[in-house]
Every structure is written in structure tokens, then in C-alpha cells.
Amino acid sequence: MDSFVGWDGTLWTLLWQILGVSGAAVFYGRFYIQWIVSERAGRSVVPVAFWYMSGAGSVALLFYGVFYKHSPVAALSHCFNSVIYARNLVHIWNEKGALTRRAALLFQGGVGLFVLAGLAMVACTWLYEYHQTHQETRAVIVRTWLWIGVGVVGQALFAARFAVQWLVTEVRRRSVIPPAFWYLSIVASLLLMSSHVQRREWLYALGLVVTLPVYVRNIMLIRAGQETAEE
């Protein structure tokens, strides 16, 4: 019986790791799908698959960050962005005429309930971090929350990029990625990456590193397109 319990614990650890790696592959890999499509089109393009991968990968990384890594920054990073991913999908489905009003309300209502549940998970994760550190020395507490603060600023910029994208999308009534999105992505990635590295959350840090070339390439494609249009 004891050996079974030990095996079971090891199995759960393995399952969480598989979930995290799979979620990271989907979430961060979405930008490589976007890169491939953009290179073929010769301009910065965001395929529909990008938004599906965003939602699925983010949910996996939220659960991994909350229940396995107990990471305040990761929990915050993957809670509220589901609203923006869902909203882009609604616009895409509406463009294709594949979504009724009732279906749109049900879908967005489901996303809203998920975000509320995510908010509770974020709160629990931050309380867990507080209880883990409140008996440490002052220097450790300051260092811990300083780097969490760096991650929060990075996530705020990540949220800002999607807020800008969401605003442009709502104004144009179709899913659009403005150039500011990519500039904000670079700055936010560097801040979040430094926070995750300091906290030894390597999966998130590595995912952020591998997306940096994609951001830079999108900026290059946008600039190339602007120069062509001016000519």
C-alpha cells in the first residue's frame, strides 16, 4: 500500500509536468505558427489557430502554475487573458457567420465563470506565497516580493498589449494586431522572464525566451510592409 501511494504521488508529479510542458508548447508555440504563416504571406498575419492555442495553452499553464508551482506571477499571467482570446474568437466566428447571438452569450458567459474561478485560484496562490515567506528575514521578504513585483509589471504590460489589440479589434469589428502589440511584447517578456528566472520557474522563462525572435521578426515584417506601401 505504501509503495502504491508513493507511486501515485510520483505519477501525479509526472502528470503535472506533462501538463505544464504541453501547455507551454501550445501557448508559446502559437507564435511560431504565427511566424510561419506571416513568412508565407510576406507580412505580419495572425491565423485563427493562434487564438485557439492561446486559450488552451493558457488554461493548462494556469493550472500548472497554481497547483504545481504555486507561482503568483504565473497565476496572474494566465487568469484574465482568456477574456481577450475569447473575444477575438467571437469576432472571427461572427465574420464567418458561424456564431448565433445565443451561442456567443453562452460562450462568453462560460469564459466569465472560468475567470471568476481563476481569480479565486490567483488569490489562493498569493496567500500561499505570503504564508511561505512571512517568517523569513526582512531581506528575503523584500527580495521575494520585489521580483514578484517585476513580474507583475511585466504582466501589466502583457495585459496592456492585449488591451490595445482588443480596443483596435472592437473599433474595427474584426480581429487585428496593431504594431504596438509587438513592441509591448518584447518589454513585457524581458521583465517577466527575469522574474521567472529569479524564482527558478524555468518552464515559463524558457517559453518567454523562445518567443522573442518572433516578436522581432513581426516588427521587421511590419516595417517592411510600411516601406513598400510608401514606395
Where is pLDDT greater, at 174 or 89?
Answer: 89
Alpha helices (H) along 43-178: 48-63, 72-77, 82-95, 101-133, 138-172
Say yes or no to pLDDT of 177 above 90: no
Say yes or no to pLDDT of 64 above 90: yes
Q: Which pLDDT band, with edges at 50, 70 and 90, does 51 fall under? A: very high
User: Which of 22-36, 106-120, 164-178 is least confident?
Assistant: 164-178
The model's pTM is: 0.78
pLDDT at residue number 226: 63
Q: How many CA atoms lie within 13 A of 10 on its CB side?
A: 6
Burial of residue 62, with CB atoms counted within 10 A of its CB: 0-12 exposed, 13-18 middle, 19 or more buried: buried
